[in-house]
Amino acid sequence: MTPADPPAPMPPAVMRPLDFRRQDEATMLATSTHLREVMRTRRSVRSFATDPVPRELVEAALEVAASAPSGAHRQPWTFVVVADPEERRRIREAAEEEERAFYADRAPEEWLRALAPLGTDDVKTHLTDAPWLIVMLRHRWTVQPDGSRSKNYYSSESCGIAAGFLIAALHQMGLATLPHTPSPMGFLTEILQRPEHEQPYLVLPVGYPAPDAVVPDIDRKPLDEVVVWR
């Protein structure tokens, strides 16, 4: 037996000055009020207009998403932006097949009961109607330039944060989206021909709501139910 190689030396942490300017509190308060009012109107939209949306808007929202913090700064995400109608048709077909099985037999009664107030079903028009479809994939590991694998850390949490950034950015820009999770999502790996380390994480149609779009008549918990100050 040969002794194991000694570990490579630790890379140094290279630091740079933080770009941060304090703002006056009146400005901070005005921003927070505006943001709260804007975000209050965000809803998950299930029926989309087919009207086009300029690519640069989607790109700007993706820049925001890709600025999210991530475990060990691995940035363990890929955003596949699908516009191609044929690819979209195949994605919808495969998703609806899974959803039919989900709603007909796979979902336990308790889950269906939880979904009932949302009025969801196995028809996924948003997959073909919205002008853009963002498929977010989580990197289960990082492929190094030499092809070797290195571990990622908190990749699910990291992707969740990036998805939140994306949803907030799209809404503030005036676009609608829906965090859609067809289950299982393996068919996306195949249709989009993604490598093994990229696991489908979330599907986000992006566009304008259909003129007759409706949303469930449900409310958010008030802050005093979700926040504990100590």
183 near ligand IYR, judged by CB under 6 A: yes
Question: Residue 171 is encoded by which pair of tokens?
Answer: 């809404």
Asked if 200 is part of the footprint of ligand IYR (rule: CB under 6 A), the reply reads no
Rounded to whole angstroms, how far apart are CA atoms 79 and 198?
10
**CA dist., res. 161 & res. 135, Å (int):** 15
Give the nearer residue to ligand IYR in terms of CB position, either 184 or 195: 184
**Smaller CB separation from ligand IYR, 115 or 192:** 115
Q: Which of 86, 53, 91, 92 is nearest to 206 (CA)?
A: 53
Contacting residue, 23, 50, 181, 216, with ligand IYR by CB under 6 A? 181
Stretch that binds ligand IYR, among 80-88, 131-139, 163-171, 175-183 (CB under 6 A): 175-183
For the segment 55-74, give every residue that binds ligand IYR (CB under 6 A): none
Give the interface size with ligand IYR as a residue count (CB under 6 A). 9
Interface with ligand IYR, residue 120, by CB under 6 A:
yes
Strand 141-143, strand 149-151: pairing: antiparallel
CB 214, CB 118: distance < 8 Å: no
What are 180's strand-pairing partners?
203
Q: How far is the CB of 196 from ligand IYR (least distance, A)?
A: 24
Among 88, 92, 126, 180, binds ligand IYR (CB under 6 A): 180
User: Using the rule CB under 6 A, which residue among 76, 131, 182, 200 binds ligand IYR?
Assistant: 182
| Residue with Cβ nearer ligand IYR (103 or 141) | 103
Among candidate residues 222, 185, 177, the one with its CA nearest the CA of residue 201: 185
By CB under 6 A, is residue 99 in contact with ligand IYR? Answer: yes
Q: Which is nearer to ligand IYR, 88 or 180 (CB)?
A: 180
Structure tokens at 206: 């992006």
Which residues are at the interface with ligand IYR (CB under 6 A)? 99, 102, 115, 118, 120, 180-183
